[in-house]
Structure 1
Amino acid sequence: MNKKLILGLILLATIVFLGIKFSQYLTLENAKAQQETLNAYIEHNFAFAAATYFFAYIAITAFSIPGAAVVTLLGAALFGFWTSLLQVSFASTIGASLAFLSSRYLLQDWVQGKFGNKLGAINQGIEKDGAFYLFSLRLIPVFPFFLINLLMGLTPMSVARFYLTSQIGMLPGTAVYLNAGTQLATIDSLSGIVSPSVLASFALLGLFPILTKWVINKVRPTAA
């Protein structure tokens, strides 16, 4: 049996196993329950905890494990906005690039067979708008995050362009999400939910896709 096929099957089995094993723990309820304990640990082991979070986030993204959104919010609550922005921005892009590479070199047949019907739209978008199309998807994901990573691996786009475009394109959304996460950390009672800062953060989270779509529609003719 082809070595690439064997590695691809092992990777696919790992993704399924990790998704089943750990997705049940990556919930908002569990994150809030563990927050106090984690805060106490981080206070005395900041560097190790930050590194662990960083590499765990890479793994979650690379293996497409459900719950990345919760881990993002938890990171903001535990490490603060700026530290978590640095961690999540780079970790998510590195993880996405690993998924991109695994699709290109190991899981190509599986991705093509399972999601190939969506590849036509991706190829047309890249042919028309180039990297700007990926940039648009990162700002307003028409397809799920993990699917963008896998499908892009089947296109001619270079790894360097994929990484750089993803790094820049995901940054605004990451910042908005992490800002909401810092506000979640302040909610200790029902009254905290209606505080101005919390309401403003979640309003921004809801309006962000609408605003970015408007900006993209304005910029696209210029970029073409």
Structure 2
Amino acid sequence: MTSKDCQSRKHPVLRHAPLALIVLIAAIGAFTLRDYLSFDTLRENREALLAYRDTHFAAMVAGFIGIYVLIVAFSLPGAAVASVTGGFLFGLAWGTAANVVAASLGAIAIFQAARLGLGQTLAAKLDASDGTLKRIKDGLHENEVSVLFLLRLVPAVPFFVANLLPALVGVKFRNFVLTTVLGIIPGALVFTWIGVGVGEVFDRGGSPDLSLLWEPQVIGPLLGLSALAALPILLKALRRKKGI
């Protein structure tokens, strides 16, 4: 009996337990942690954080990544604050690397939890479907990498949606990991860049302005990357229409 067969024979409660736990913790965190995972908390603790970073750099990086993974894996509030904090603490290069690693690990964790339970059930139903659902399923799997990149690059798609939706429709794990790691780099660069200058913002008595994400010089390149990700889908559609 293969490991896949063993997983499919698990009691439904056990299969759905990881995702149920994530939903429960996410709901609790939305009400209890919002005031703590904030820019005000970063402002109030920045001196202590910088002092600890200067004396225990490796431990600070490991601790930061661990906390960020939990934020993403349990869809807790504060992901944007964490990304900005990465830039504030570690600079553009190290901060971007830490943000990408942490966000990717958290995304993989929630993807696996969703795929193990609800995703397994929905994927089986899609495999057994026909008609419109079958065409949608076939189209998705034919353009899987492009669609996954679009989910990562389009700013309007919430991060938790880009983590959960692929698991619920049965995309390949390796494609999810590849597009997650590469697809979040542009956004991570922007948030980290904001974080690099956040100390000066605090000194002026202000708060980081995340509306910068929607400035033409930022949103333009992101939309350009989104168009590149969508190009293979459009070309395949045109070829199919022309019978090539």
Shift, 1:206, TM fit = 2.5
TM-aligned CA distance change 1:217 to 1:7, over 3 Å: closer
Matched residue pairs, number? 210
TM-aligned CA distance change 1:14 to 1:221, over 3 Å: closer
SS in 2 for 1:186: helix
Instruction: Normalising by structure 2, report the TM-score.
Output: 0.73
| Aligned mates of 1:186, 1:106 — CA distance in 2 | 46
Structural mapping, 1:1-224, within 5 Å:
2-108=13-119, 126-127=140-141, 129-187=143-201, 188-189=203-204, 203=212, 206-207=215-216, 208-217=218-227, 220-221=230-231, 224=235
Gaps of 5+ in 1: 113-119
| Aligned mates of 1:222, 1:26 — CA distance in 2 | 39
| Aligned mates of 2:58, 2:35 — CA distance in 1 | 27
| Aligned mates of 2:98, 2:170 — CA distance in 1 | 29
User: Residue 72 of structure 2 contacts residue 106 of structure 2 at CA under 8 Å; is this kept in 1?
Assistant: yes
Amino acid at match of 1:59: L
| Aligned mates of 1:108, 1:219 — CA distance in 2 | 25
CA RMSD of aligned residues (A): 3.1
| Aligned mates of 1:9, 1:37 — CA distance in 2 | 36
Aligned identity (percent) is: 26
TM-aligned CA distance change 1:204 to 1:60, over 3 Å: closer
Moved more, 161-170 or 210-219: 210-219
Shift, 1:219, TM fit = 6.2
Residue-by-residue CA offset, 1:23-54 (whole Å, 9 max, x unaligned)? 32111122112111211121112111110001
TM-aligned CA distance change 1:17 to 1:135, over 3 Å: same
Shift, 1:216, TM fit = 3.4
| Aligned mates of 1:127, 1:4 — CA distance in 2 | 24
Residue-by-residue CA offset, 1:69-119 (whole Å, 9 max, x unaligned)? 01111121112111111111111011101111111113549999xxxxxxx
Residue-by-residue CA offset, 1:109-161 (whole Å, 9 max, x unaligned)? 9999xxxxxxx8x9587356321111122111442110121111112211111
| Aligned mates of 1:75, 1:157 — CA distance in 2 | 30
Gaps of 5+ in 2: 1-10, 124-132, 236-244
User: Residue 104 of structure 2 contacts residue 177 of structure 2 at CA under 8 Å; is this kept in 1?
Assistant: yes
